[in-house]
A and B are shown apart, each in its own frame.
Chain A
Amino acid sequence: MSPRQRQIGAIFGLTGPAYAWLAVTIFLPLSAMLYCSVLDTSPLVPRPSHFTWANYAAFFQKPFYLPLTWWSVLMGFWTTFFCFLVGYPAAYALAKRIKGRWREALFLLIVLPFWSNALVRVFSWTMVLRQGGLIDRLVHTIFPGAPTFDLLFTYPAVVIGLVHSYLPYMILTCYVSLQAIDDSLMEAARSLGAESWTVFRRVVFPLSLPGIVSGGILIFVPVIGSFMEPRILGGTKGATLGMNIEEQFTVTANWPLGAALSFTLLAIVLVIFAILYPVLKRRGVWS
């Protein structure tokens, strides 16, 4: 076997199982959904169906889709931004400043909240943020005359809940990247006369970009389609595109429309990536 053939064999062997699995469980079913999105009736209904673009057109024709989508994208952006703001320093602290057994312990502790049920977690947040809730009572115990603290059913509450749900992704991916950076690299830079901040800006930060970007993807993408946290924490302020997609499957049984909206969402994500790709490529994130 030539080296090239061996290489091809290795590629197939390594990616084969994973992608075969994905093909059967995701790509094929989603292709069926894609086909469904250009039909005018749901496939489970015994009526003949015809090809139509109407479901995709609905996105532009109905007046609420653009505002809903915009809010969802904005929500994704804010969540990712705050996850980065809070999570990156935490990852840095963990990777560079904590040594020994504590590091593993903290690493695991950060992931642990993930293992609790998301719905119960979000309800717990309502108890913390609402009037008469944890923070409100705490504030009044310390400052009895203070105004009522009621953050529930506001946009910030939604962001807090989402950041809380997705923060571990950012912390862990950044940690994984930062930890790979050899300390000797930093020492070398310092010995060449660079200030700590310069070391960070020119050496550490660029090398940790893959972690930041991965974390960003794992947060931004799912958040755009989310609807549970927005609804429970945002009340009337929690309207999202994800909510509407869900309704097409649970209320109107309009699978073609729901499918079309999902793929539109996917298209939007791809567009955003297409815009950011040149920037990331220059930074050497995508090898």
Chain B
Amino acid sequence: MTEISKFRPKALGRSNRRQFLAGATALGVGATVLGAPRIARAAGDVKVLNWQGYGTDEAWAVDAFHKATGNTVTHDYYNSESEMITKLRTNPGGYDVVLTNCAWNGLARQADLIQPIDTSKIGNWGDLNPAFRDSPLLNDSGKTYGLSWVWGITAVAYNTDVFKPAPDTLAKLWDPSLKKRVALRDDGIEAVSFGAIATGQDMNHPADLAKVKAKLMELKPNVAYIWQSEDDWNKQFAAKAFDISIYWSGSALRSKTNFKLPVGYYVPKEGGIGWFDGLAIAKGSPNADGAHAFINYMVDPSFYVEWETKVGAPASANPKAMAALPDTDPSKGLYGDEASVKRLQFMAPLTDKEKQDYSDLWTEVKTAFAG
């Protein structure tokens, strides 16, 4: 019995518990002191809010930026656009640069979470593709709220070992011979968009949602997996859980280049989804100068070329950056293909009701798939 008291921490004795709580509180206080965020930040630090591993946090880029401007860069990440808004709102003055998708920039602006960009501080401004740069999705009342940075495509990726010759339609996904060989992304908006494209409707505001739902329901026998992240996709594709899927263009190229997976990609005849991202400056940014310098660097060919060739990236909104890519780069071929780009419908902002309806529709479809 006496051996037990050797092991038993004093915690259980009542008076000892008091000492104990004191010690634990000290630990907690210590942790607070260590972890307490300093409101006054190191001079020349740029705080960026973005998806993890999405270009802005590349170690070599941060280094180069630091050497050029003396600013350091620290990152915080989000896992969904909705979370991005929450983080902005609960951290006023906490961020300098934030990545906003074209469909979300307007929302952030209306919620008063981002501030206008002083375009005179953006050296590369004149080089940017006007289609993206001047888009009403990123500009309002003559002011720019998002610097168009990259754009990309969501379309069809397939296993080149399985499909010879390569397919070229969206309808292929519904092919009865592809039982349990198809994967979709777990995103209601994307699902509805493709259902709309497949039924010949406007992908952002389809007139006949019931038709979209019916079309998606028809996919039930073919769908094997519903993926959530790039990593998820890679692992399941490598394990041959599916052979054809809706996927992002940049990710598909990365899977091919980095992971040596047999991935092919095409924009279906019926159409595909286009999207672009804009770098915004958070309201109350403590280091606005640094923020402007950073986003300018991001659209600079020197950054983009290294990002694309080293890691793999979506297309740059700066045509000069695209032109600077080596001719063998697969991105050049994909994004330069005018015919494919013409077939794209670009993502637009949706009302809350639309988002909810599409999400509900997708839940209904998923429930049916599971039944």
Contact = CB atoms under 8 A, between A and B. Distances in A.
Contact of A252 (B112, B356, B364): B356
Contact of B360 (A17, A62, A130): A62
A234 B186 CA distance: 14
Given A67-B367, A123-B235, A239-B366, A254 B111 contact: no
Interface in B307-365: 352, 355-356, 359-360, 363-364
Interface stretch (B38-46, B77-85, B265-273): B77-85
In this complex, which of A46, A131, A239 has the most chain B Cβ atoms within 10 angstroms of its Cβ? A239
B268 to A, nearest CB: 22
Interface in A141-161: 152-153
Contact of A250 (B79, B239, B356): B79
A130 B241 contact: yes
Interface in A41-86: 44-46, 62-64, 67-68, 71
A236 interface: yes
B82 A249 contact: yes
Nearest to B371: A67
Given A63-B364, A64-B367, A130-B241, A252 B224 contact: no
B89 A44 contact: yes
A71 B188 CA distance: 21
Contacts of A44: 85-86, 89-90
B224 A153 contact: yes
A251 B366 CA distance: 15
A244 B224 CA distance: 20
A231 interface: yes
A251 B239 contact: no
A250 B226 contact: no
Contacts of A131: 240
Interface residues of A, number: 34
A257 B357 CA distance: 13
B239 A237 contact: no
Given A153-B225, A235-B225, A236-B223, A68 B85 contact: no
Given A45-B111, A130-B239, A132-B240, A250 B80 contact: yes
A239 B82 contact: no
A251 B188 contact: yes
A244 B363 contact: yes
A238 interface: yes
A130 B86 CA distance: 38
B25 to A, nearest CB: 11
A45 B111 CA distance: 7
Contacts of A235: 224-226, 241
A244 B364 CA distance: 10
A168 to B, nearest CB: 21
A252 B366 contact: no
A253 interface: yes
A247 B364 contact: no
A68 B363 CA distance: 10
A126 B112 CA distance: 44
Nearest to B112: A46
B210 interface: no
Contacts of A244: 363
B198 to A, nearest CB: 19
A253 B224 contact: no
B86 A231 contact: no
A266 B360 CA distance: 22
B275 interface: no
Given A123-B235, A251-B355, A64 B364 contact: yes
Interface in B244-267: none
Contacts of A46: 111-112
Contacts of A45: 111
B239 A132 contact: yes
A46 B34 CA distance: 35
Nearest to B180: A153
B352 A254 contact: yes
B187 A251 contact: yes
A247 B363 contact: yes
A251 B89 contact: no
Interface in B225-241: 225-226, 228, 235, 239-241
Interface in B155-212: 186-189
A213 B105 CA distance: 51
Interface string A230-270: 01001111110001100101111110010000000000000
A111 to B, nearest CB: 17
Contacts of B79: 250
A231 B228 contact: yes
15 contacts: A44-B90, A62-B364, A64-B360, A64-B367, A67-B371, A126-B239, A153-B225, A153-B241, A236-B369, A243-B366, A247-B188, A250-B83, A252-B356, A253-B85, A254-B352
Q: 10 shortest A-B CB distances, which residue pairs? A: A239-B370, A250-B80, A64-B367, A253-B82, A236-B369, A239-B366, A252-B359, A235-B225, A252-B355, A64-B364
Given A234-B370, A251-B188, 11 more contacts: A64-B364, A153-B241, A235-B224, A236-B226, A238-B370, A239-B363, A250-B83, A251-B187, A251-B189, A251-B359, A253-B355
